[in-house]
Structure 1
Amino acid sequence: MINIRGAGPGNEAGSTPPRSPIARIGAALRGEGMHTRGLSSPLVTAGAIAAILASVIFFWSWRSGLDAGASNPTWFAGYVDVTVSPPYAFEQASTPSTKDVVLAFIVASPDRPCAASWGTGYSLDEAGRVLGLDKRIAALRSKGGSASVSFGGALNTELASSCQDESQLRVAYRDVVERYDPAFIEFDLEDANLLDEAAGQRRAKAIAALQGDRGTSGKKLGVWMTLPVTPRGLTDPGITAINQMLEAGVDLAGVNIMTMNYGASRSGSQTMSDAATAAADATHDQLGILYQRAGINLSSEQAWKKLGVTPMIGRNDLPGEFFDQDAARNLKDYALNRGIQRLSMWSLNRDVPCAPGANSDAASHICSGLDQGNTRFSELLGGALPGRMG
């Protein structure tokens, strides 16, 4: 088990740990944390009742989410880099394993810090006009497919890092959710976006509020976090990001780990397949600890159902790292054996061999860098899986 003692906010010596939903109910019954000065007894009682009801609703929605996750079998959804040219025709849903997609990436507009854009190149309206994105999502759904939306990525600025106003940030997230009605949203947090703890606090508060708004109207909003790992599990900034979400009351569907670009953290004797499974084993243990700190005791099965694994197929960005077809087969077998919730891959755009004469020394946005013949990584990872993205 990875030792993550002291990681994340709110864990300094002498600080008060975050309360679980059950603890919040008890506190409300006792009147703790309520500012009652100058209020009459009936008003205090009404406030306590409202707090109790809100806590009960929150707890049972959170608990039912854990129970639902435990029964949902492993599913696959590949990423689609929306702004790469030539575009990947995800709307064709040509095979069962490509019917569910994660569209990437929503980031801050370069000239409007609280406005969402696709890869800084297209506003939401421009993506509809120029890329035909809205119509393509509708076409995918008409074929029985499903789309989710990813915020962040490695190259640009995630909205919470750019937008300093929490209310405007909440509106920006809401605009994306209401426009695309995604199966879930996720936050791919890397580099500066992951290290910005103030942004993490804004993000967590905005998403908790948005989940609450959606819940009030009878709509569920699934939220995933996609984070970097080493073979030893989540990094300290990743642990902090999860803590921030849980402490804000966000109901996380799961944590998706990026099993790629390990660099020096992977030993020379460790294959990419071994590194991926080691990272997943360690993250499973870390999630158990993080949820326990938040007042939720996950069973081992529930912890696996809170986990997703995403390799970068073919040539990775760092020298000497290749995720090949055997690694894909091994990872799928491992995921099914453990009962992992989600498998993904970066990316469907890359799931073809490179053309003859292409640069073989760098990872490409549009091909894998491996001689994969007619075999597709999407089939190796996602073929015949029992679950569906949701």
Structure 2
Amino acid sequence: MPVATDHSAARRTREPGTPPRSLVALAAAALVTGTGFAVWLLPAGTGGRPAAGQAPHPRVGPPRLTTLPAADQAPGAPLSPRASVRPSGYVPFVDTGDGPLSNLTRTARQGGVRWFTLGHLTAGPDGCTAEWAGGRQRPGGPVAGRLGRLRAAGGDAGLAFGGPAGRELATACTDPGRLVAAYRRAVAAFGATYVDFEVRDPGDGETVLRRAGAIAALQREAAARGRPLTVSFTLPVSGTGLTPGDQTMLRSTREAGAEIAAVNLLAPLQAAAGGRSDLRAVAAAVRAAHPQVAGSLAEPTAWHRIALTPVLTGPQDLTATDARKLTAFTARNGLAWLSTRGAAPTPEVARLLAAVSP
């Protein structure tokens, strides 16, 4: 015997806690509308060539936050989820002034790299404006414009202030308020959660404290927004470790309230017998610097606060065997990250370096 079904009663009966269908439809429509509005609000870039008479060192401009085009979708494993707020693993350095300008997203996908450092930002003619050193990178240019695409793919990039050319902002800008504003503009323009200070000369105590005060202010602002700002210092290292001046600078910066997440050691590669690179000298320099970094940062041990950056004069300086030794040394000692400067390593060596455990 067929059973009659009361469809109107079924529609009126819901499981406890289940919202009405009309409310569900309304919420879905609101979500679609809100998402579209948020995408519409994303800032556009400021491409184009410099105008006539523009200063030789172009000022920092905001990146273009665009969707990832098909041309950037190179083969390789996806990078998602997004990188954390601090570097880890292998962190290539991208020189925006000297080039060649890299396709960050393609490099990340092909090599499994999650983090890059972009540099160098130095003081412009007025002393209190951050500009790309080298003068060839226009605002909204190729590297900066790819940051949105890189982040959409799960990677990220930090900014490096200072470097071998030009003046670091704290040296040139003696007004503390303008110095904080200069750093703040650069960090905000690129949405950076990580900044590095490559200091070639620690300078006088006033410069050190001026920089430290600016860093502490930026970190307090970032913490209030829920986006911590990771800060590192890149310093040269030798067989005796860090210079006394650099150790004093680190200690004074910490005591002034700035939080230093890592000290990145620039270690030149020396030629050994047979033309091979002497990685033993690099390891010895890192070991010499370890107690100095620990003391400067008031830490009982500081291996996790040390990053290592061998400086290459040419791609041949680092072989595949060397790369395996470097990654093993980095993982065994629990270093913060591994990088390279100077000449770019060969693609094979870069892939091996990228295999270091984050």
CA change 1:250–1:268 in 2 (3 A) is farther
Read off the aligned partner of 1:350 and give its amino acid letter: A
Shift of 1:212: 1.2
Query: What is the aligned partner in structure 2 of residue 345 from structure 1?
Result: 340
1:327 has 2:322 as partner: yes
1:221 has 2:229 as partner: yes
CA change 1:99–1:74 in 2 (3 A) is closer
CA change 1:233–1:91 in 2 (3 A) is same
Query: What is the aligned partner in structure 1 of residue 13 from structure 2?
Result: none
Alignment match of 1:103 (pick from 100, 118, 125): 118
Aligned residues: CA RMSD:
2.9
Alignment match of 2:243 (pick from 224, 228, 235): 235
CA–CA distance in structure 1, aligned partners of residues 279 and 90 of structure 2: 18
Say whether the 8 Å CA contact 2:318–2:349 is kept in structure 1: no
Q: For structure 1, list consecutive stretches of 5 or more residues without a partner in the other structure.
A: 1-71, 353-374
1:114 has 2:128 as partner: yes
Shift of 1:81: 0.6
Say whether the 8 Å CA contact 1:185–1:222 is kept in structure 2: yes
Read off the aligned partner of 2:177 and give its amino acid letter: S
Shift of 1:87: 1.8
Query: What is the aligned partner in structure 2 of residue 149 from structure 1?
Result: 159
Shift of 1:269: 12
Shift of 1:350: 2.1
1:275 has 2:281 as partner: yes
Moved over 6 A (4+): 266-270
Query: What is the aligned partner in structure 2 of residue 173 from structure 1?
Result: 183
Shift of 1:99: 3.3
- Write the deviation string for residues 175-199 of structure 1: whole angstroms up to 9, x where unpaired: 1111112231010111xx4334432
Shift of 1:379: 1.6
CA–CA distance in structure 2, aligned partners of residues 112 and 346 of structure 1: 29
CA–CA distance in structure 1, aligned partners of residues 136 and 204 of structure 2: 25
SS of aligned partner of 1:256: strand
CA change 1:162–1:306 in 2 (3 A) is same
Shift of 1:312: 1.8
1:258 has 2:266 as partner: yes
CA change 1:337–1:89 in 2 (3 A) is same
**Larger Cα-atom Rg:** 2
Alignment match of 1:248 (pick from 239, 256, 280): 256
Work out which structure has the larger RCO, using CA pairs closer than 8 Å and 6 or more positions apart in sequence: 1
TM-score, normalised with respect to structure 1: 0.63
Say whether the 8 Å CA contact 1:99–1:145 is kept in structure 2: yes
Query: What is the aligned partner in structure 2 of residue 138 from structure 1?
Result: 148
Say whether the 8 Å CA contact 1:151–1:187 is kept in structure 2: yes
SS of aligned partner of 2:202: helix
Percent identity of the aligned residues? 29
CA–CA distance in structure 2, aligned partners of residues 268 and 158 of structure 1: 39
TM-score, normalised with respect to structure 2: 0.69
Aligned residues: 272
Query: What is the aligned partner in structure 2 of residue 164 from structure 1?
Result: 174
- Write the deviation string for residues 279-337 of structure 1: whole angstroms up to 9, x where unpaired: 11122111222233xxxx43x3xx11111000123539xxxx94444332212111111
CA–CA distance in structure 1, aligned partners of residues 280 and 145 of structure 2: 41
SS of aligned partner of 1:164: coil
Query: What is the aligned partner in structure 1 of residue 350 from structure 2?
Result: 378
